[in-house]
Amino acid sequence: MAKTIYVLNGPNLNLLGTREPETYGHHTLDDVEKLCRDTAASFGMTADCRQSNREGELIDFIHEAGAKKAAGIILNAGGYTHTSIALHDALVGVKVPTVEVHVSNVYARESFRHHSFIAKAAFASLCGFGIEGYRLAITGLAARIGAAAKS
């Protein structure tokens, strides 16, 4: 079984902890990455955490996950969620199990955030759980691929 989960964060997620804390909370991207590494390790896997403000670089990461036969992808595409057919197409193209994550509840926000191109290429979507959504996403991915928690 593949042992690596790609955790990909899109534009502006490098600003977690300082950007609109009333919406996104006070946790930083470093906090997210530690949470993901710890959660993946609890299933005997590793989390390869990356962030980019550039759509093309995120697509390259998705292609790499496919080429390296990653166990899965956790993707918070940020604002690209609502605009990027290219990210959707990359996910469909690589056929790696994907969970979409958002820190905030996008459905309680502006109407333009209610549409996701990513959701159509993912087997699950989570929003509104804060950074705990990443833990839930990895746990759900592990269940989907049959990875058992290590004691």
Per-domain residue ranges of the chain: 4-145
102 is catalytic: yes
- For residue 103, give both structure tokens: 């820190």
Residue among 6, 80, 88, 102 flagged as catalytic: 102
Arithmetic mean of pLDDT, 53-64: 98
**CATH topology for 4-145?**
Rossmann fold (3.40.50)
Decide: pTM greater than 0.85.
Answer: yes
Residue among 24, 80, 88, 134 flagged as catalytic: 24
* Confidence band for 28, pLDDT divided at 50, 70 and 90: very high
Q: How far is CA 22 from the centre of its chain?
A: 21
82 is catalytic: no
SS3 12: coil
How do beta strands 4-9 and 124-127 pair? unpaired
